[in-house]
């Protein structure tokens, strides 16, 4: 007689998540390299301003981890697209699962990667400011150090930004899997729509769309918006995956 062992969805998702974490472990080395490069690019300051008078000249140099955050977002965006490739999806067939468990494991992995990216990007922001202080003989200004609560909020906000773009990359990657030619067409379409919207006088509407997320000052509302939009992206990606051919 044969015995069947029932495996819960949570167990399958966890096993797939562990497998993906090990498989994509080397990609975190890429994140380190990108963040080191971002620190190097930020060492001269992220921005500057000043004014000059007859007897007075003032120059202000701003140091922040903005470039580090941008590089972290690009890394997670690319990672999300890569998790949708055929090779990555075929690896899931080593487990007794289904497409839902695979998607849930991907979401959990991207969430973990976003959190790691948010923590490391926040710490790199401190490194940028400290390097600016010691290398350029700057006067310590406000913002060099943060209160513990502000530090945690910074990690949370950056992680949410990274996760939002990861979800966007995930749905784009799934769209590309429908037809490989779309990987060349989608960037052109996105940039073209953006340029056409601005040139047609809809720049305020475009700004309002980005401002809906980027200018949110309340953390919990920001969290709700990110989870809502990311959830929509992931649901669309799951629905699109049903159109892919089943592996034989």
* Tens of pLDDT, residues 71-93: 999 999 999 998 988 777 776 66
- The more confident residue out of 14 and 43 is 14
Mean pLDDT over 2-18 rounds to 73
The larger pLDDT score, comparing residue 196 to residue 32, is at 32
Tell me the mean pLDDT in the region 112-138. Answer: 83
Q: Above 80 in pLDDT, residue 235?
A: yes
9-23 and 99-135 are packed helices; what angle lies between their axes, rounded to 10 degrees? 40
Count H helices and E strands in the chain, helices first: 9, 2
pLDDT of residue 156: 92
Highest mean pLDDT among 101-105, 137-141, 146-150, 176-180: 101-105
DSSP 215: T
Contacts of 197 (CB under 8 A, 6+ apart): 203, 205, 206
Structure confidence at residue 248 as a pLDDT band (50, 70, 90): very low
Query: Residues near 152 by Cβ (< 8 Å), separated by ≥ 6?
Result: none
pTM of the model: 0.82
Phi and psi at residue 235, to the nearest 5°: -65, -45
Per-residue pLDDT, averaged over 42-61, amounts to 64
Closest CA to 79 of 14, 150, 172, 143: 172
Burial bucket for residue 52 (CB in 10 Å: 0-12, 13-18, 19+) = exposed
């Amino acid at each position: 007689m044969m015995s069947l062992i029932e495996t819960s969805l949570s167990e399958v998702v966890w096993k797939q998540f562990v497998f993906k974490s090990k498989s994509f472990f080397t990609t975190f080395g890429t994140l380190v390299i990108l963040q080191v490069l971002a620190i190097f690019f930020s060492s001269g300051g992220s921005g500057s301003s000043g004014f000059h008078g007859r007897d007075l000249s003032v120059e202000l140099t701003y140091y922040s981890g903005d470039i580090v955050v941008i590089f972290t977002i690009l890394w997670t965006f690319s990672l999300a697209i890569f998790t949708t490739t055929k090779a990555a999806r075929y690896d899931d067939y080593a487990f007794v699962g289904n497409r839902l468990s695979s998607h849930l494991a991907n979401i959990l992995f991207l969430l973990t990667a976003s959190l790691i990216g948010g923590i490391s990007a926040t710490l790199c922001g401190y490194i940028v400011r400290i390097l600016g202080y010691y290398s350029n003989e700057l006067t310590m200004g406000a913002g060099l150090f943060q209160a513990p609560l502000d530090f945690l909020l910074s990690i949370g906000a950056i992680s949410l930004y990274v996760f939002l773009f990861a979800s966007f990359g995930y749905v784009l990657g799934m769209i590309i899997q429908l037809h490989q030619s779309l990987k060349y067409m989608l960037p052109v379409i996105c940039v073209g729509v953006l340029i056409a919207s601005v040139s047609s006088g809809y720049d305020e509407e475009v700004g309002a769309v980005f401002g809906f997320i980027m200018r949110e000052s309340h953390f919990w509302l920001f969290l709700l918006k990110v989870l809502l939009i990311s959830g929509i992206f992931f649901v669309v990606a799951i629905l699109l995956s049903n159109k892919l051919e089943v592996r034989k």
